[in-house]
Chains A and B, each alone.
Chain A
Amino acid sequence: MVSEKDVQHIAELADVGISSGELGTFTHQFNQILEYFDQLDAVKGDAAAIKDLYNVLREDEIEPSLPQEEVLRNAPAKEDGFIKAPRVM
Chain B
Amino acid sequence: MHIPDGILSPTILAAGAVVSVVVLAKSVQESKKNLEQTAVPIMGVMAAFIFAAQMVNFPLLGAAASGHLIGGALAAYLFGFWPTTLIMTTVVTIQAVVFQDGGISVLGVNILNMAIIAPLAASVVYKLLRNSKVPVSVMVFIAGWVSVVVTAAFAAIQLGASHVVSYQLALQTLILWHAIIGIGEGLITGAVVPFARRSSFFLGGREERIR
- A and B: partners? no
Binding site for A on B (CB under 8 A): none
